[in-house]
Amino acid sequence: MAMMKLYLIIELRPTDQAMEITLQSQKTVSLAKSHESYEYMAKLLINAVESKRPRCPVGLEISEENEILAARYADNDFVVRVVPENEETFKVWLRGHDGIFKLDRNHPSFDRIYTTIDTSGIDSRRIWFIADRELRILDVLLVEA
């Protein structure tokens, strides 16, 4: 199963069948025009590329065939506090958001995400993040200065 991650988009190229997207890693993925959420996701991708905010990433779930399955806007904030909730989960408080976010130790990118969150809190650096409906953090990136 594909996992949603944050990506920076370099270029969008519409074709007859899809929108071809070049990511910062130079990987090319596509959003099929036949996708049930094509209009919403295409608008999201266009807005991310044309954003006045510097280097606005988007959350993408990409299949093994390099097709976009889902897309979501990234949000950004500062980490206020991170504390263990139990052996499996950390609680994460963000400055401008209601609710307590969670980071699971069994997340495949736990080490990288935890390090980024910790750096944000220590250095007062803003992060981009995506989370699911239960406020579980799926991915984070430090905002570039």
Give the domain extent around 100. Answer: 75-142
3-state DSSP of the chain: CCCCEEECEEEEEECCCEEEEEECCCCEEEEECCCCCHHHHHHHHHHHHHCCCCCCCEEEEECCCCEEEEEEECEEEEEEEEEECCCCEEEEEECCCCCCEEEECCCCCHHHHHHHHHHHHHHCCEEEEEECCCCEEEEEEECCC
Band the pLDDT of 94: cuts 50, 70, 90.
very high
Q: Any idea what the CATH number is for the domain that residue 86 is in?
A: 2.40.50.340
The reply to whether 17 and 57 lie within a common domain is yes
**Given pLDDT bands bounded at 50, 70 and 90, which one contains residue 1?**
low
Pick from 55, 73, 91: which residue ends a domain? Answer: 73
The residue out of 14, 40, 73 marking a domain boundary is 73
pLDDT at 37: 96
pLDDT at residue 27 in the model: 95
Burial of 57 (0-12, 13-18, 19+ CB in 10 A): buried
Look at residue 72 in the predicted model and tell me its pLDDT. 94
Mind listing the pLDDT tens digit for each residue in 22-73?
999 999 999 999 999 999 999 999 998 887 666 789 999 999 999 999 999 9
Report the distance separating Cα 121 and Cα 140, nearest Å. Answer: 13
| Same-domain status, 68 and 82 | no
Q: Are residues 65 and 109 in the same domain?
A: no
Same structural domain for residues 80 and 45? no
> Are 58 and 90 members of one domain?
no
Q: Could you read off the pLDDT of 98-130 as tens digits, one per residue?
A: 889 999 999 999 999 999 999 999 999 999 999
| 31 and 69 belong to one structural domain | yes
Rg (CA), the chain: 16
Poorest-confidence range of 12-21, 53-62, 91-100?
53-62
Q: How many domains does the chain have?
A: 2
* Mean of per-residue pLDDT scores for the chain: 93
- What pLDDT score does 54 carry? 60
Which residue, of 73, 89, 119, is where some domain finishes?
Answer: 73
Are 16 and 57 part of one and the same domain? yes
Give the confidence band of 2 by pLDDT, cuts at 50, 70, 90. confident
What is residue 62's predicted lDDT score, i.e. its pLDDT?
97
Domain co-membership, 79 together with 137: yes
- The answer to whether residues 62 and 100 belong to one domain is no
Residues 50 and 79 in one domain: no
